[in-house]
């Protein structure tokens, strides 16, 4: 197998690593194997389960127009508690980001659901659930563009916009060595050039690109093309729930609940509620 074939195979495997549900409507990521059997831990001695989060990361956690704590993470925490049968023991509290680690250590909460990055260093501080959401890289292109799979052939020699110095730039250069990379220090300039036809596509974070596609600035000009592309070595392993490092049983309980939520379709419902333009 030559180097190009190896590269193509690695991208293909990255796409398959998080298969979405294929349906007539938006696609939903599925991170769990339906054949896997997870045991429900005994939480009968758990006095209460307090999730700690923030208010400044919409649509994951924010204060809504009625002054209530809302968001994907808030609804996911409630779904987890319902699945574990401990809804009456659950609380969700918002703190500034900088106070989350201290509060968890001090016993002011049992879990953090706020996007703490899973890294070698953070694993020394926390026990994590398995990821419940990953952020793939995606291309977007004008709706009338011919950019589609097989994407390699369509993009060879073409001008592709990407944010300068980002992990997505590194990923684009390594995975797609035959494209002409055009870097931008401001996203709005990149989108202006895309709409003006100065570049044939933009490569970046699928979630943020999805928000742009759904917004008034895009004015319905564009669509996702190719992908999704998952590359943990560039983009991280995704979102997970953090607990104190000694609370592995609680992390196992979250895994059980997340698996059940996925299999029953609850996760899909929450995902599409907050991400109607699916980034998968």
What is the per-residue pLDDT across 21-73, written as a single tens digit (0 to 9) for each? 444 456 889 999 999 999 999 999 999 999 999 999 999 999 999 999 999 99
CATH class of 31-134+237-274: alpha beta
Q: How confident is the model at residue 249 (pLDDT cuts 50, 70, 90)?
A: very high
Q: Report pTM.
A: 0.85
Q: What percent of the chain has pLDDT over 70?
A: 91
Residue 26 pLDDT: 65
Q: What DSSP string describes the chain?
A: --HHHHHHHHHHHHHHTTPEEP-SS--EE--S-TT--------TT---EEEEE-SEETTTEEE-TTS-EESHHHHHHHHHHHHHT-GGGEEEEE--GGGHHHHHHTTS-SEE-S-----TTGGGTEEEPPPSB---EEEEEETT----SSHHHHHTT-EEEEETTSHHHHHHHHH-TTSEEEEESSHHHHHHHHHHTSSSEEEEEHHHHHHHHHSTTTTT-EEEEEEEE--HHHH-S-B--EEETT-HHHHHHHHHHHHHHHHTTHHHHHHHHH-SS---
Q: Which superfamily does 137-235 belong to? A: Periplasmic binding protein-like II (3.40.190.10)
What is the per-residue pLDDT across 133-151, written as a single tens digit (0 to 9) for each? 999 999 999 999 888 778 8
Residue 200 predicted with pLDDT over 60: yes
Domain ranges for the chain, please list them: 31-134+237-274, 137-235
Residue 25 pLDDT: 54
Residue 99 predicted with pLDDT over 50: yes
Mean pLDDT (whole number) for 94-110: 96
């Amino acid at each position: 197998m030559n180097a190009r074939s190896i590269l193509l195979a690695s991208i293909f495997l990255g796409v398959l690593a998080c298969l979405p549900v294929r349906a007539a409507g938006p696609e939903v990521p599925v991170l769990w194997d339906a054949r896997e059997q997870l045991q429900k831990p005994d939480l009968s001695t758990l006095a209460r389960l307090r999730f700690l989060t923030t208010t400044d990361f919409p649509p994951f956690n924010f204060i809504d127009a009625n002054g209530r704590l809302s968001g994907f993470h808030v609804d996911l925490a409630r779904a987890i508690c319902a699945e574990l049968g401990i809804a009456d023991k659950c609380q969700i509290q918002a703190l500034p980001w900088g106070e989350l680690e201290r509060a968890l250590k001090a016993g002011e909460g049992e879990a953090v659901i706020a996007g703490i990055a899973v890294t070698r260093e953070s694993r020394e501080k926390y026990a994590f659930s398995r990821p419940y959401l990953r952020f793939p890289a995606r291309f977007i292109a004008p709706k009338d563009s011919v950019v589609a799979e097989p994407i390699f052939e369509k993009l060879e020699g073409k001008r592709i916009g990407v944010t300068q110095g980002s992990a997505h730039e590194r990923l684009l250069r390594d995975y797609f060595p035959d494209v002409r990379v055009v870097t931008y220090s401001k996203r709005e300039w990149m989108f202006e050039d895309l709409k003006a036809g100065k570049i044939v596509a933009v490569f970046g974070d699928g979630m943020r690109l999805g928000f742009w596609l759904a917004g008034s600035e895009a004015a319905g000009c564009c669509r996702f093309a190719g992908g999704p592309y998952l590359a943990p070595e560039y983009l991280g392993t995704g979102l997970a729930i953090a607990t104190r490092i000694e609370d592995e049983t609680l992390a196992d309980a979250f895994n059980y609940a997340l698996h059940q939520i996925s299999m029953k379709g609850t996760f899909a419902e929450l995902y599409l509620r907050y991400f109607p333009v699916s980034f998968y």
